[in-house]
Structure 1
Amino acid sequence: MTSRSTALLPSTERSLLHRLAVAQSEGRAPSVVAGVARDGEPVWTGARASAGPVGAAPGPDTQYRIGSITKTFTAVLVMRLRDEGLLDLGDPVERHLPGTGMGEVTIAQLLGHSAGLSAETPPPWWERTPGTLRPGLADVLGGPSRPHPAGRRHHYSNPGYTVLGSLVEAVRGASWEEVLRSEILEPLSLARTSAQPLAPYATGWAVHPWADVLLPEPIEDLGLMAPAGQLWSTVADLCRFAVFLAEGDKRVLSPASVREMATPAAPAESGEWESTYGLGVQIVRRDGRTLVGHTGSLPGFLAGLWVSAADGIAAVALANATSGPFPAAVAADLVGIVATAEPRLPGPWQPLPEVDQELLALTGPWYWGTQSFALRLLADRGLELQPLRGAGRGARFVVGEDGGWIGQEGYFAGEPLRVVHREDGSVRHLDLGSFIFTREPYEPDAGVPGGVDSEGWRGVRG
């Protein structure tokens, strides 16, 4: 399972096991199981359990219920529909699923929890009651009223993902579970992920807050609410799914669409500037690194999955307790332990296989007004513009369809970079979204907006 090239140091494995043991002991969980993947390969699994049948010997293939991590699977199915041209994320839900009463609420707003829907269904509590109590979307949504205007704020909504699951069924003409199996589970070889528990699986427990005694939690089929939290899975399967969330897989979803899912889609709540939400994934800042993934809970179970794409590390933690061990925090800590103890080695520097001399001539210093920037040539005719000193706006650029370049991040994301030539063919200036970059500060003949004073630069006597 662990290859020689990716194996962890014994000291790192000891630190991972210690974190898991603390979580199980202090969290008073019948069992906790976790796993770590690095550079696309599983490198560690560990488990801690109470003595006896209550927490008996979980392993990487023991199923636990994963709650809202299910939402990420549902979001992937919706993104596949978009990539196939069967819908647009800006489409009103009503266009594809008439009768919801949602008006102009869009698919993207449902994915990012900014549709203004209620957090929960009408009572009774859906997580602890059978789905047969909510046979239709009207029973899930509870009427046309919404607590917030659509698109104005992030407000987590479980019913919103029920609507998305029904949308998948309507467009595909098959059940959510069938589509999930054929389009995600089978291609990614997630054979131990399922809508119903498959042995071996953990029993869900509630632990008394003031005594070391237990109460079994009921297992309910959530019916229409399944796309929001039904799934059971294992550490081994979820580590593979986490790798997919970091790298994409052409059989399921392209790397570009996976990156799109991990882009913030809604404003963070006030006071939560280090936590936001993309399209079906949570995005958090933890100890200076960005983690993408999801947390999950249902009565008797807690789950956490996080990926640090920059470090090439993913971690999963699962517990069979209603509260206590906080697997989301455990998984984040496992990522941090590996990244700190064994930082990723940079790849060896490689020269470009060939070079375009015209592009090479563009490299070097450029000026926006008086601020200095450097333009570098990257692989595949890409360019990078960065300030030479102090704060400033920089970005990478890739070749667009018209032969120009398109910004990839920050202020210049999506903005065009063009090379403007003089009549004799020499380069006059760079135009970046109307910003003029010249070879010299305020170069007189480079078309600087507003012109350049004819007397040029001057000193000032006291």
Structure 2
Amino acid sequence: MTSSAIPELLPSTRRALLHRIAVGQTEGRAPSLVGAVMRDGQMVWSGARSCVEGHDPDADTQYRIGSITKTFTAVVVMRLRDEGLLDLGDQLEKHLPGTGVGDVTIAQLLAHTAGMPAETPGEWWERTPGTDRPELADVLGERPGMHPVGRLHHYSNPGYTLLGSLIEAVRGEPWADVVRREVCLPLGMERTSAQPEAPAAGGWAVHPWADVMLPEPTEDLGLMAPAGQLWSTAGDLCRFGAFLAAGDEQVLSADSVREMRTPAAPPGDGEWDGGYGLGVQLSRRDGRSLAGHTGSLPGFVATLWVSVDDGVAAVALANATSGAAVGAVAADLLRITADAEPRIPEPWRPLPEIDPKLLELAGPWYWGTHSYALRVAADGGVELGPLRGTGRSSRFRAEADGTWTGLDGYYLGETLRAVRREDGSVSHLDLGSFVYVREPYEAGGAVPGGGVDQAGWRGLPR
């Protein structure tokens, strides 16, 4: 992301975005619908439609954001991890004893792979007061483990209640206070809160077969708050989208945010175009990889999607229990912006200097007879990928000891090193026991297993 001034969107783009909002509000029969777009760290457009003429909401109007709250909860958990106060592999019991599901790990709760049920026992928790569930036992019920732990992605609202209670146990203060102090305020999200603050939209249910409405109650969710309590605005969620794309050292590093966006759980049945990271939903739409979250509570639906590659995020919020397809609206707002005004790349510039030993490694390498190329990246890392066709490729980060660590793909976390001869020349590259040499099966080379035929390469005798 760049902090330089960002030009205003073209009039044709703004009109297309407003048209999409208008269609979404009309076809979704939403009392109101507001949308916004973030590009390269700044909100560049917002628009709204309302059933009350002359009273459209704006990017500063609060809506309830439902399960987008889970991503805020996950950010705090990742902060605790980065501070060394817990490990994602820790069993919950280590920090929050006596729950009855203490053998599940923190990572499994974040990724919804802890085998827990989707909802709480008893009445619909989203439409009843949190005082109906005063203890964790009231949230978890008699059967808190219903699926094999770690083997299945099963979305669990009670799982995030446990994460909220974990935060309170480690920090020693209420979940809402921690989220506001450690996430919202550092990111400039002053209009994001646990309770509605005017101006705020009222929640409505729209009759499925008639154009009439019914007000929905606004309940304080109590222990379930970490799963869906928050209220926010389109403007604040654009700020949060910028954070999910690039991180912010005041809250979480770019590496930790990237970890949250990395798939941690398989998609559910019928959802092979998506998945789930650590508190972050993942989706493939219009050929793009999106990260963010959807949310709903009685009277409200919400979506935030981010395309890191495009540097664009989009938000759509509506005050209707159902009908307004804000997930599709947000994805379309992002697509319209990115397609109409694609990101202009930074100018190519040569490196100011380069280590000759690093430059020596650039160029073609062979794993067996597969041809690969190693390219030097501008940040001092390297990229290794096939010269032709498809194959394993990864980016690598330079380490202080002269090795490189894989950042993505098959070699994520693996170590790449250049093995040198006594005279200092490069013998081969070693990558997780895979040996890359300058010539395929070169005589006297570092060929795993040895046994290179001394007669060398040959054709088929006639």
TM-score in terms of structure 2 length:
0.97
Instruction: Give the distance between the partners of 1:381 and 1:278, measured in 2 at CA.
Output: 28
> What corresponds to 2:17 in structure 1?
16
> What corresponds to 2:239 in structure 1?
240
Asked whether 1:199 is paired with 2:194, we answer no
> What corresponds to 1:339 in structure 2?
338
Report the 3-state secondary structure (helix = DSSP H, G, I; strand = E; otherwise coil) of the residue aligned with 2:360: helix
What is the CA distance between 1:4 and its match in structure 2?
A: 6.4
What is the CA distance between 1:329 and its match in structure 2?
A: 1.1
Report the 3-state secondary structure (helix = DSSP H, G, I; strand = E; otherwise coil) of the residue aligned with 1:362: coil
Instruction: Give the distance between the partners of 1:369 and 1:414, measured in 2 at CA.
Output: 23
What is the letter of the counterpart of residue 410 of structure 1? Answer: G
Q: 1:190 to 1:252 in 2, by over 3 A?
A: same
> What corresponds to 1:309 in structure 2?
308
What is the letter of the counterpart of residue 163 of structure 2? Answer: L
Question: Is the CA contact (8 Å cut-off) linking 2:101 and 2:145 kept in structure 1?
Answer: no
Instruction: Give the distance between the partners of 2:185 and 2:410, measured in 1 at CA.
Output: 39
Report the 3-state secondary structure (helix = DSSP H, G, I; strand = E; otherwise coil) of the residue aligned with 2:397: strand
Asked whether 1:102 is paired with 2:101, we answer yes
Instruction: Give the distance between the partners of 1:91 and 1:237, measured in 2 at CA.
Output: 33
Question: Is the CA contact (8 Å cut-off) linking 1:291 and 1:308 kept in structure 2?
Answer: yes
Question: Is the CA contact (8 Å cut-off) linking 1:268 and 1:276 kept in structure 2?
Answer: yes
> What corresponds to 1:37 in structure 2?
38
**Superposition pairs of residues 17-416 of structure 1, within 5 angstroms:** 17-51=18-52, 56-416=55-415
Question: Is the CA contact (8 Å cut-off) linking 2:195 and 2:231 kept in structure 1?
Answer: yes
What is the CA distance between 1:401 and its match in structure 2?
A: 4.3
Report the 3-state secondary structure (helix = DSSP H, G, I; strand = E; otherwise coil) of the residue aligned with 1:241: helix
Instruction: Give the distance between the partners of 1:242 and 1:374, measured in 2 at CA.
Output: 35
What is the letter of the counterpart of residue 36 of structure 1? Answer: V
Instruction: Give the distance between the partners of 2:269 and 2:455, measured in 1 at CA.
Output: 52
Question: Is the CA contact (8 Å cut-off) linking 1:6 and 1:41 kept in structure 2?
Answer: no
Instruction: Give the distance between the partners of 1:312 and 1:243, measured in 2 at CA.
Output: 8
Report the 3-state secondary structure (helix = DSSP H, G, I; strand = E; otherwise coil) of the residue aligned with 1:302: strand
Instruction: Give the distance between the partners of 1:324 and 1:219, measured in 2 at CA.
Output: 19
In structure 2, runs of 5+ residues without a counterpart are: none
Q: Deviations over 1:367-418 (max 9, x none)?
A: 1111111111112321111211111111111112432111111111111111
Question: Is the CA contact (8 Å cut-off) linking 2:64 and 2:300 kept in structure 1?
Answer: yes
Question: Is the CA contact (8 Å cut-off) linking 1:384 and 1:397 kept in structure 2?
Answer: yes
Instruction: Give the distance between the partners of 1:172 and 1:286, measured in 2 at CA.
Output: 38
> What corresponds to 1:454 in structure 2?
454
Instruction: Give the distance between the partners of 1:70 and 1:240, measured in 2 at CA.
Output: 15
The worse-fitting range, judged by mean Cα deviation, of 230-239 and 378-387 is 378-387
The CA RMSD measured in Å over matched residues stands at 1.4
Q: 1:3 to 1:439 in 2, by over 3 A?
A: closer
What is the CA distance between 1:145 and its match in structure 2?
A: 4.3
Instruction: Give the distance between the partners of 1:242 and 1:46, measured in 2 at CA.
Output: 17
In structure 1, runs of 5+ residues without a counterpart are: none
TM-score in terms of structure 1 length:
0.97
Instruction: Give the distance between the partners of 1:4 and 1:434, measured in 2 at CA.
Output: 47
What is the letter of the counterpart of residue 324 of structure 1? Answer: G
What is the CA distance between 1:178 and its match in structure 2?
A: 1.0
Question: Is the CA contact (8 Å cut-off) linking 1:102 and 1:144 kept in structure 2?
Answer: no
The worse-fitting range, judged by mean Cα deviation, of 19-28 and 376-385 is 376-385
Instruction: Give the distance between the partners of 2:357 and 2:75, measured in 1 at CA.
Output: 41
Q: Deviations over 1:406-433 (max 9, x none)?
A: 1111111111111111222211111111
What is the CA distance between 1:144 and its match in structure 2?
A: 4.5
Instruction: Give the distance between the partners of 2:4 and 2:209, measured in 1 at CA.
Output: 45
Question: Is the CA contact (8 Å cut-off) linking 1:6 and 1:38 kept in structure 2?
Answer: no
Instruction: Give the distance between the partners of 1:281 and 1:434, measured in 2 at CA.
Output: 34
The worse-fitting range, judged by mean Cα deviation, of 266-275 and 252-261 is 266-275
What is the CA distance between 1:143 and its match in structure 2?
A: 2.3
Report the 3-state secondary structure (helix = DSSP H, G, I; strand = E; otherwise coil) of the residue aligned with 2:459: coil
What is the CA distance between 1:5 and its match in structure 2?
A: 3.2
Report the 3-state secondary structure (helix = DSSP H, G, I; strand = E; otherwise coil) of the residue aligned with 1:74: helix
What is the letter of the counterpart of residue 41 of structure 2? Answer: G
What is the CA distance between 1:189 and its match in structure 2?
A: 1.5
